[in-house]
A and B are shown apart, each in its own frame.
Chain A
């Protein structure tokens, strides 16, 4: 009989779900663009179940991860940190991964993977510079959609230096550049390099071992991926499922949980 598991990733800015069959086949997925403390988690759960044509009771095991993982009491069988779940998801998608860079809504993580498991990690400090929130703030100042940053970066002809020290400082620099009439596309290239500098500094602390995989919503922006790859001096792999990576890892751990439970 098939085992169905549900992985829920309740992040700071989005809620993602994945249903897996037998720990390998993705049955359905969902993404709601609001995270913990909102209706997002429940809506994401409802949507993934509807997409799969299943009910909550059809799930053999449910595992929650992400910033809001502990807000799903009564729904999840277990909670795990997003660190391990991103490691698990990336190892499933890229079996030779040793380093995962995940840029989330309000944090940055670099994970060291051995045999598919996270054995060490580094996270950013309290500062929002280098996170998804940093890009949201910059996109708002530039009056562009965050989804368009990649396309605009590709059209840039030169790089403008933007500080990576602090989101507020960087924002004021962007405003100064705009008032000087600098091309938005060049400012965006500068912003991407600024984020990359911050992330690469963190990555070097833990040591870079290929294959390097980037996960999280920001990995959809190849302007950032390319800037990090250039500064690291090694290629970076991404997946179309990048935003679902944490939920995928959670569903994979849920499968292990379901198997253990079945053995008892």
Chain B
């Protein structure tokens, strides 16, 4: 695997620091919040409050293949399996559930899962065969322990302090388990309506304050003054709540600084996304899914802006050198619509690689790249999220990046976790084909629950899309 570029390293550090600083703040006794991804982070920043992001954490848990256990834990609490997978993971986590590593209570050693790990390779680079079983041996360095569902409240109730500490530390071996429990929650339902009930439930479960910014679905393309006034009034109410939570007064200077940083981050993010316009692209579009973590967790931090600016430089170098982070030659370019199936990322990528398809457009570019000049502009910006804008605006966003980024087709994730997003896609697919003249293929999946993805169906749809893109190209040439 190629060494990550300086920009990528910097971006990873920014996200790690957000969580580490929140953990340290919690240890100091400061309140730590949980926030939805498109809550106006500038408001919390004005009070110097530390905030972490359940959507980002849930994606990480799902990518580590631990989502299913936590989804089931939420279902056992009574939450329906039709609810968003991120919400189920987050609700289970808020209730104290964690996926930990199984260990032997006598020896305190982790119990290794013999089925885990990569094949052990000999000096000749070939897999080493176990003479007893006739099967390839596993590389012990890559093997991982069995996992089990535990609850921190049960661990906290253990009387023996040594045992308690050991079990808590064992949980922290998994990065996502280090996210502190919330003291308040910040919810903005511009991203989806499930968010409202998700955060209300956490607030009730943990008996903590909920700061709510309500963004109704916008039937118009523009955000008119009455809508701005509605959001502005909520900003004022949120500021009052945050003053009580933090015990501090609103700091205008910090707020202005956060706004300036958020704008700078947005501009740098858009610049990075724009590099996908090059043909061939200097990066894999899947990289953007990883970099999203920074846009979600740290857009009001100067470090995020600087890291994206550094990444833009890396990409500029790639363009000059004719190199790319895409590990295969780019034959065709598509827009990937929706959130990836995090637990199935390798399965998602494999047929794209086999067919030479690069993802060169994702809706996150315009959806998170908002730039504003004043507080009214900020209200307008937060009114525009993928699921709160009208279908006309949504189509315009997507068709704009499809044209700019020169896509040959569209791959649509019908995401069981995200009903609003998936619901309008059938109409959007129809418009993409009509307006752009490109084929579209849809597949079933889920952003966090692996039970909703069928690899064989996905492979056929990707191959079919490739064949349709080739036929389309041949027809245009003829």
Other-chain contact of B460, A82, A119, A120, A125 (Cβ < 8 Å): A82
Chain B residues near A205: list those with CB within 8 A.
426, 429-430
Decide if A119 touches B472 in the complex (CB within 8 Å).
Answer: yes
**Alpha-carbon distance A205/B478, docked complex (angstroms):** 27
Q: Does chain A have a CB within 8 A of B373?
A: no
Decide if B439 touches A119 in the complex (CB within 8 Å).
Answer: yes
Other-chain contact of B468, A118, A126, A207 (Cβ < 8 Å): A118
Chain B residues near A107: list those with CB within 8 A.
457
Decide if A125 touches B468 in the complex (CB within 8 Å).
Answer: no
Decide if A81 touches B414 in the complex (CB within 8 Å).
Answer: no
Decide if B460 touches A121 in the complex (CB within 8 Å).
Answer: no
**Alpha-carbon distance A120/B460, docked complex (angstroms):** 14
Instruction: Evaluate whether A114 and B433 lie within 8 angstroms (CB atoms) in the complex, with A67-B460, A80-B463, A120-B468 already known.
Output: no
Q: Does chain A have a CB within 8 A of B133?
A: no
Q: How far is the CB of B62 from chain A (nearest CB, A)?
A: 19
Decide if A83 touches B467 in the complex (CB within 8 Å).
Answer: yes
Q: How far is the CB of A203 from chain B (nearest CB, A)?
A: 12
Q: Does chain A have a CB within 8 A of B40?
A: no
Residue of A nearest to B474 (CB): A117
Decide if A115 touches B475 in the complex (CB within 8 Å).
Answer: yes
A-B contact count (CB 8 A): 61
Q: Number of contact residues on B: which range applies?
A: 20 to 34
Chain A residues near B471: list those with CB within 8 A.
84, 114, 117-119
**Alpha-carbon distance A118/B471, docked complex (angstroms):** 7
Instruction: Evaluate whether A121 and B414 lie within 8 angstroms (CB atoms) in the complex, with A67-B460, A126-B444, A126-B454 already known.
Output: no
Chain B residues near A238: list those with CB within 8 A.
none
Q: Does chain B have a CB within 8 A of A161?
A: no
**Alpha-carbon distance A118/B452, docked complex (angstroms):** 28
Chain A 102-134: CB-based contact to B (< 8 A → 1; otherwise 0) = 000001000000110111111101100000000
Chain A residues near B426: list those with CB within 8 A.
205
**Alpha-carbon distance A120/B463, docked complex (angstroms):** 12
Chain B residues 67-121 with CB under 8 Å of chain A are: none
Chain B residues near A123: list those with CB within 8 A.
441-442, 457, 460-461, 464
Decide if B439 touches A120 in the complex (CB within 8 Å).
Answer: yes
Decide if B429 touches A119 in the complex (CB within 8 Å).
Answer: no
Decide if B475 touches A121 in the complex (CB within 8 Å).
Answer: no
Chain B residues near A125: list those with CB within 8 A.
414, 444
Chain A residues near B463: list those with CB within 8 A.
80-81, 83
Q: How far is the CB of A255 from chain B (nearest CB, A)?
A: 17
In this complex, which of B414, B452, B467, B475 has the most chain A Cβ atoms within 10 angstroms of its Cβ?
B467
Q: Does chain A have a CB within 8 A of B440?
A: yes
Chain A residues near B429: list those with CB within 8 A.
205
Q: Does chain A have a CB within 8 A of B1?
A: no
Decide if A81 touches B467 in the complex (CB within 8 Å).
Answer: yes
Q: Does chain A have a CB within 8 A of B456?
A: yes
Q: How far is the CB of B427 from chain A (nearest CB, A)?
A: 9
**Alpha-carbon distance A126/B445, docked complex (angstroms):** 9
Chain B residues near A122: list those with CB within 8 A.
442
Interface majority SS (helix, strand, loop, mixed), chain A: mixed
**Alpha-carbon distance A123/B414, docked complex (angstroms):** 12
Chain B 433-471: CB-based contact to A (< 8 A → 1; otherwise 0) = 100000111101000000010101100110110011001
**Alpha-carbon distance A67/B463, docked complex (angstroms):** 12
**Alpha-carbon distance A2/B133, docked complex (angstroms):** 50
Residue of A nearest to B463 (CB): A81
**Alpha-carbon distance A83/B471, docked complex (angstroms):** 12
Chain A residues near B478: list those with CB within 8 A.
115
**Alpha-carbon distance A237/B420, docked complex (angstroms):** 37
Chain B 313-333: CB-based contact to A (< 8 A → 1; otherwise 0) = 000000000000000000000
Residue of B nearest to A109 (CB): B464
**Alpha-carbon distance A115/B464, docked complex (angstroms):** 17
Decide if B475 touches A120 in the complex (CB within 8 Å).
Answer: no
Instruction: Evaluate whether A81 and B460 lie within 8 angstroms (CB atoms) in the complex, with A121-B439, A123-B442 already known.
Output: yes
**Alpha-carbon distance A84/B471, docked complex (angstroms):** 9
Q: How far is the CB of A251 from chain B (nearest CB, A)?
A: 16
Other-chain contact of A83, B430, B457, B464 (Cβ < 8 Å): B464
Q: How far is the CB of A77 from chain B (nearest CB, A)?
A: 16
Chain A residues near B467: list those with CB within 8 A.
80-81, 83-84, 118
Residue of A nearest to B456 (CB): A67
Chain B residues near A115: list those with CB within 8 A.
475, 478
Residue of B nearest to A115 (CB): B475
Chain A residues 52-106 with CB under 8 Å of chain B are: 67, 80-84
Chain B residues near A114: list those with CB within 8 A.
471, 475
Decide if B456 touches A121 in the complex (CB within 8 Å).
Answer: no
Residue of A nearest to B478 (CB): A115
Chain B residues near A80: list those with CB within 8 A.
463, 467
Residue of A nearest to B464 (CB): A83
Q: How far is the CB of A217 from chain B (nearest CB, A)?
A: 18
Chain A residues 16-74 with CB under 8 Å of chain B are: 67
Chain A residues near B472: list those with CB within 8 A.
119
**Alpha-carbon distance A44/B140, docked complex (angstroms):** 44
Chain A residues near B433: list those with CB within 8 A.
120
**Alpha-carbon distance A123/B442, docked complex (angstroms):** 8
Q: How far is the CB of A125 from chain B (nearest CB, A)?
A: 5
Residue of A nearest to B471 (CB): A117
**Alpha-carbon distance A107/B457, docked complex (angstroms):** 9
**Alpha-carbon distance A84/B472, docked complex (angstroms):** 12
Other-chain contact of A126, B430, B457, B460 (Cβ < 8 Å): B457
Residue of B nearest to A79 (CB): B463
In this complex, which of B454, B475, B478 has the most chain A Cβ atoms within 10 angstroms of its Cβ?
B475
Selected A-B contacts with CB under 8 Å, 30 pairs: A67-B460, A80-B463, A80-B467, A81-B463, A82-B460, A83-B467, A84-B464, A84-B471, A107-B457, A115-B475, A115-B478, A118-B467, A118-B468, A118-B471, A119-B439, A119-B468, A119-B472, A120-B433, A120-B440, A120-B468, A121-B468, A123-B457, A123-B461, A123-B464, A125-B414, A126-B444, A126-B454, A205-B426, A205-B430, A206-B430
Q: Residues of B with Cβ closer than 8 Å to A?
A: 414, 426, 429-430, 433, 439-442, 444, 452, 454, 456-457, 460-461, 463-464, 467-468, 471-472, 474-475, 478
